[in-house]
Amino acid sequence: MAHTLSSRRTTRRLAADAGLLVVAAAFVLPLAWVVLSSLDPKAGLRVKAPDGLTLDNFDAILTSEITFTPLLNSLILCGGATLLTVASAALAAYPLSRFRSGFNRPFLLTILFATSLPITAIMVPVYALFVQVDLIDTMQGTIFFFAASQLPFAIWLMKNFMDGVPKELEEAAWTDGASSLQSLLRIVLPLMGPGVAVVTVFSFVMMWGNFFVPFMLLLTPDQMPASVSINDFFGNRGMVAYGQLAAFSIIYSTPVILLYVLISRRLGGGFALGGAVKG
């Protein structure tokens, strides 16, 4: 009997390991293709060793028109929209977390519903509105819409993280004469650093990879972000510059990786004072 149980556990463990290897391969193979193809002078769709190593693919794309200007546009759009999203989400989540009201639950459910709306379903009225208010083909208009589209889920996340900060700390600050805004800025947000980091990374990554919104709202080629300009590598009649596309993909991914590395230490933290106050 014991031998049978041990055999079953071994079989399940092997099956789980095999499943994990399949999932890992699904992630590793595309990354391997990007790295290898960027150095391959004759890159194709297959994952293979390069036919000689070369940096010509990087030399071909490292120009202002192809890479630097689109990346700068992406940083302006996504960086500005991320700052606006995080600030607005913190201000909206604070009363939802700290004050009890009969409107809290309906409001949160409305926010949750808003996160499920497909972006394509609202782009037509948004486009018409932007034309009327002269925000079409403007960086600030695209920033506003980026922030608005990410704000529902950012509020939901921020509120859940904010619930983990002990209210007793704020009450002590209120006793000393601090306002609600001061307690939010000096106590709540510093203690929920991991939560702010998660919202920041999530918002930035979702905006960074968004093709449809800037493609619809921006018309001038000089304002297009990298998520749209990457489409230029797909030529007519199915011809694709795979090596240059792979090289551009590596450079395009760098800001997201750097952002994660810069704040990764905060992602592993927690609300250190929570247990001390309750104890």
For residues 159-169, average pLDDT: 85
pLDDT tens figures, 222-272: 999 999 988 887 765 457 788 888 999 999 999 988 888 887 765 654 444
For residues 187-201, average pLDDT: 87
**What's the pLDDT score for residue 240?**
78
Distance CA 250, CA 67 (A): 11
Q: How big is the chain, counted in residues? A: 279
Is the predicted pLDDT of residue 279 greater than 60, yes or no? Answer: no
Is the predicted pLDDT of residue 158 greater than 50, yes or no? Answer: yes
**What's the pLDDT score for residue 78?**
95
Cα distances from 74 to residues 174, 176, 177, 278, in angstroms, run 41, 44, 42, 44
**What's the pLDDT score for residue 270?**
45
Give the whole-number percent of the chain exceeding pLDDT 90: 31
pLDDT tens figures, 49-87: 787 788 888 998 999 988 999 999 999 999 999 999 999
**What's the pLDDT score for residue 266?**
58
Between 220 and 110, the more confident residue is: 220
Which residue segments constitute the domains of the chain, with CATH numbers given? 1-53 (no CATH), 63-268 (1.10.3720.10)
Backbone angles phi, psi at 134, to 5 degrees: 60, 40
**What's the pLDDT score for residue 139?**
95
Distance CA 214, CA 130 (A): 13
For the ranges 12-26, 111-125, 158-172, 255-269, the lowest mean pLDDT is seen at 255-269
Is the predicted pLDDT of residue 187 greater than 60, yes or no? Answer: yes
**What's the pLDDT score for residue 238?**
56
Distance CA 112, CA 248 (A): 35
**What's the pLDDT score for residue 46?**
81
Between 58 and 172, the more confident residue is: 58
Q: Strands (DSSP E) along 126-178, which ranges?
A: none
Is the predicted pLDDT of residue 18 greater than 70, yes or no? Answer: yes
| CA dihedral of residues 89, 93, 94, 98 (deg, nearest 10) | -170
Q: What is the mean pLDDT of the chain?
A: 83
Q: Could you say which DSSP state residue 192 is in?
A: T
Backbone angles phi, psi at 240, to 5 degrees: -130, 135
For residues 164-181, average pLDDT: 80
Is the predicted pLDDT of residue 147 greater than 90, yes or no? Answer: yes
Tokens of 23: 């999932």
Distance CA 168, CA 255 (A): 39
**What's the pLDDT score for residue 268?**
55
Closest to 244 (Cα-Cα) out of 58, 105, 118, 113 = 58
β-bridge partners, 240: 234
**What's the pLDDT score for residue 271?**
42
pLDDT tens figures, 36-53: 888 888 887 787 878 778
Distance CA 78, CA 214 (A): 11
**What's the pLDDT score for residue 23?**
87
The whole model's pTM is what? 0.81
Distance CA 31, CA 210 (A): 20
**What's the pLDDT score for residue 274?**
42
Phi-psi label, residue 126: left if phi above 0, alpha if psi -120 to 50, beta otherwise: alpha
Which of helix, strand or coil describes residue 1? coil
Q: Counting beta carbons within 10 angstroms of the beta carbon of residue 160, is it exposed (0 to 12), middle (13 to 18) or buried (19 or more)?
A: middle
